[in-house]
Amino acid sequence: MSDFANRLIAWQKIHGRHDLPWQNTVDPYAIWVSEIMLQQTQVAAVIGYYSKFMQRFPNIASLANATQDEVLQHWSGLGYYSRARNLHNAAVTIMDEHKGQFPQDFEMIQTLSGIGRSTAAAIASFAFNQVQTILDGNVKRVLARHFLVEGWPSSPKVEKELWLLAEKLLPEQGMVAYTQGLMDLGATLCTRSKPKCSNCPLNGSCKALQAQRVHELPTPKPRKSIPEKHTTMLILRRGDEILLEKRPSTGIWGGLWSFPEAENSQDAEAIALKKFGVTAENDITLPNLTHVFTHFKLHICPQTLQVVKLNPQVNQAAHMWLNIEDAIGAAIPTPIRKILLSMQKTSLGY
């Protein structure tokens, strides 16, 4: 076993995290759900969602048998909704093709929707004690600093170098403590900012620390200007109810419920009549809202419309009328929930 692995395992057993809700189990389903939630999301944000999600979907069968809409509802607010859709699709696959048993074969795990090499390795390590290496964002940061690896870690060339490094460091025993140790070290000591190098079990051999370059590594992603998009969201009000429209299954907020959209507020009444067959009048304009995605900023102009005349054609599968309280609890994106909550606090919420 390498000295790197030895010290990391010893440190994890004493100083690592041992009481997270998804730890102290070998249930591949519980581990799988946590790993998917932890993609792109901090532990503190995941804990509450994980517990509620597991209460509603305690096993693969319950997840597979649920509707995608219900799964998205329990994911609402956690972001990156393709993760929830992939989780649901994979559960259906496991029921249909693996007799409801999570596959143990490492290559087979990677064929499931939403599971890449690193996530598959984490599941295989924690659930099946397999010797597989992970390489998530935390691990990339630890390895880039410890071995002074230059370049943006997610570029193909640098990522390949990091995978080779990670494979060489694998211990033959103690995989659970080693894998958890890598995650814990990156999350608690070798952090992106203000790393606690004096407490690190690997500080004696860390090349970035020796070269006084810890804060330079890993090399940041080359900066590009973030595109900005604008949309007007139509808030059609009928009494104490508002209209929600189901978004396409792909794209941002795929499969979630949202407000209908228009290019600008001047088109609002015309679109309400043409698309939904309702006659509506402009109502109070709410404050604009900006939502930042990974790759762009979305500027939202909420336009409230009071429905004067309703055509029955609006009662379609892709549309529904809900009171504000029920709408807030539906499978909706975070900015839509913010708008509804602001309406609830004003006279618009009745």
Which H or E run includes 274?
helix 268-276
Q: Are residues 180 and 236 in the same domain?
A: no
Domain housing 80: 3-216
pLDDT, tens only, 205-257: 999 999 999 999 999 988 888 899 999 998 988 888 899 999 988 888 999 99
The pLDDT score that the predictor gives to residue 317 is 65
Please indicate, yes or no, if residue 324 is contained in any of the structural domains: yes
Is residue 330 situated within a structural domain? yes
Residues 201 and 323 in one domain: no
> Same domain, yes or no, for 318 and 186?
no
Which of 22 and 311 is assigned the larger pLDDT? 22
Residues 62 and 173 in one domain: yes
Q: What is the rounded distance in angstroms from the CA atom of residue 75 to the CA atom of residue 80?
A: 9
* pTM across the whole model: 0.84
Assess whether 245 carries a catalytic annotation.
Answer: no
Strands, DSSP E only, in 116-240? 228-238
Q: Is residue 20 part of a domain?
A: yes
Q: Lowest mean pLDDT: which of 3-12, 76-85, 126-135, 278-287?
A: 278-287
Same domain, 124 and 91: yes
Residues 73 and 190 placed together within one structural domain of the fold: yes
In a domain, residue 21? The reply is yes
| pLDDT, mean over the chain | 91
Residues 6 or more apart whose CB falls under 8 angstroms from that of 36 comprise: 83, 86, 87, 114, 115, 119
Q: What share of the chain has pLDDT > 90, as a percent?
A: 73
Q: Are 198 and 237 contained in the same domain?
A: no
Quick one: 198 and 242 in the same domain?
A: no
Residue 244's domain is classified under what CATH number?
Answer: 3.90.79.10
Query: For residue 261, what are the β-bridge partners?
Result: 233
Instruction: Indicate if 19 and 163 belong to the same structural domain.
Output: yes
The pLDDT of residue 316 is 63
Whether residue 132 is contained in a domain is answered as yes
Marked catalytic residue, from 35, 161, 245, 269: 35
**Last residue of some domain: 189, 216, 243?**
216
**How many domains would you assign to the chain?**
2
* CA–CA dist 338, 302 (Å, integer): 11
